[in-house]
Amino acid sequence: MNVRDELLRLCHLMTDDGELSGEEVWKLAQWLNDHPEATMDWPGDKLARVLQEVFANGEPQVNELFQVAEAIREVEEEEASRALLASPSALIAEDEAAPASEAELPLLPSLRQVVQMDCTTEAKEQVVDICDHTCTCEEWQKHRSAFPARHVKRMCKHVAKALLEHKEELNYGDLIGCLIETCVRRGRGTTIHGEYVAVIPPSGMALLSHADAEWVNVYALNSSKYERFTYSLHDKRWSFGQTPKDSLALRNFIESRWSLAPANA
């Protein structure tokens, strides 16, 4: 993967839930510092200019985070347009596509083990029970404890890290593994807002997450492995022009469940 594609993937990862944290902005700036060659061309040059302004006076403020988020959105829209020009067949609607049917949500894998997890941004270790998916962190205690046993919303960033570190013993499937790995890469747990829905298109089960008004996260098969994709309800397109297998069936399900009213309605 070249630096341009790696940077686009990093930007894509940061658009998971429509929010952007100061830690994520710092990670983006650090990545560009470590890959100066990426700032010589689009989109690295554009993002570098914005980040230089944001960090000019020290720690970025909330309004400056919005500035970075807007720059990433512009990058996303331009890349989606480029991908569409490169593959105009993506515009063609296939009304004959087999529908995707709703299924039961996959459960978090369980193992009778309690582990201590450290975090670079926290002063103390957190205790995670991989069997019940509990954590001593404040975020889990306040926002996740009420969710049913093994529900994906019980997974804070510490639970996700513990599950990934015990992947071999847990032997979980590729779909739930994609969700776990995405949480670990982002340094965030699953979203506690909105809903998760499992669907079965022709090629294999997919997991949809809708928390942000505009975006739906889609954990689905690409060619031979599961990846995270995002679909814009507002623009009716796939983020960064990246589409999963069964993209039409998944799009039709998404639109029927969460479609936005027309802008002029």
Q: Domain extents for the chain?
A: 3-86, 103-186, 195-258
**Cis status of the peptide bond prior to 43, with omega within 30 of 0:** yes
Q: What was the pLDDT predicted at 92?
A: 46
Q: Is the pTM of this model over 0.85?
A: no
Kind of pairing between the strands at 206-210 and 195-200: antiparallel
Query: Token pair of 94, please?
Result: 């296939």
Q: Find the farthest-apart pair of alpha carbons in the chain and give their distance in angstroms, rounded.
A: 55
Residues 6+ apart with CB under 8 A from 256: none
Q: What was the pLDDT predicted at 120?
A: 56
The C-alpha atoms of residue 7 and residue 9 are separated, in whole angstroms, by 5
CB crowding 191-211: b at 16 or more within 10 Å, else e: bbebebbbbbbebebbbbbbb
Q: What was the pLDDT predicted at 119?
A: 64
Cβ(248)–Cβ(97) under 8 Å?
yes
Give the CA distances from residue 26 to residues 5, 113, 118, 120, 199, in Å, rounded to whole numbers and listed in that order: 19, 34, 20, 14, 35
Query: Token pair of 122, please?
Result: 């926290």
Per-residue pLDDT of 151-178, as tens digits, reads: 999 999 999 999 999 999 999 999 999 9
Positions in the chain whose pLDDT score sits under 50: 90-96, 261-265
Q: What was the pLDDT predicted at 164?
A: 96
- The 8 Å CB, 24+ separation contacts for 172-178 are 172/109, 173/106, 174/225, 174/226, 175/106, 175/204, 175/205, 175/206, 175/207, 175/219, 175/226, 176/106, 176/107, 176/108, 176/109, 176/152, 177/226, 178/219, 178/226, 178/227, 178/228
